Chain A
């Protein structure tokens, strides 16, 4: 049984009965969902319910952890991600983390790093990519005269947009964001949310957030995860964000978003 949540009919990622184990501990159980393309899907749920583990599965980041085992399938444009070379997969599925983590290099080098790793050497092309990525991340105007300054010299909000620009530089199709604004002040947070709205024109975005209002403000679809009795994360409810936050169908969702647990 597949949970259908998308109205535009374009499915970017299809998760089929996905299970994930850390050794003997099951972290995710029986997750089946379609993530719509060119839309923003947020994942909410209490701490430890497997939200981050779930999105890290999309670019096989969990495999870097010893003892991880998975069952089921995850399809990116109908292609099983476990059949795709991880380096190629991570080019298609980029990631932005909770704390901005620019490399201790110049702004320019932060962005050029990915394209270089994928074999682009021509300085002019790299310059174009850097400019385009920074523009898409709405950071260009603030840094264009200081491209040789260290990425670490930027403010927290700017650093996070730099990390988004870095993710965009390799022209991914999907961008995963794990609490991208939780370390930022309200203005920087709103800037990131606005940026995400613009990015959905070209990219599919999946965002994990603890901030209910952020999920309500910034996403088109919402998935609510919870922890089962065996502490494995499972999908409780999915749907349009406007429905989930005004009239959820599941009592657990209602309780969680109203602050009764979690």
Chain B
């Protein structure tokens, strides 16, 4: 921990657990507003993504940080990113 302070920038796990996880969590939250059932109160699709965001981020963060199979974690993030991007694209353009 003392040897090199900038060493982690070269680490693939840092990029996966850091920026990639944050980006995917944000896209997941935004897309949830589209697919989550609004319920009879018509507010669940607004409130639940906001409430779930820290949980989604924490789950993805700990998974990508602790997994021994980085390739699997990378593909999981890519798949989640593509699915949520498609949902958002259809919402705005479809």
Partners in one complex: no
Q: Report which B residues bind A (CB closer than 8 A).
A: none
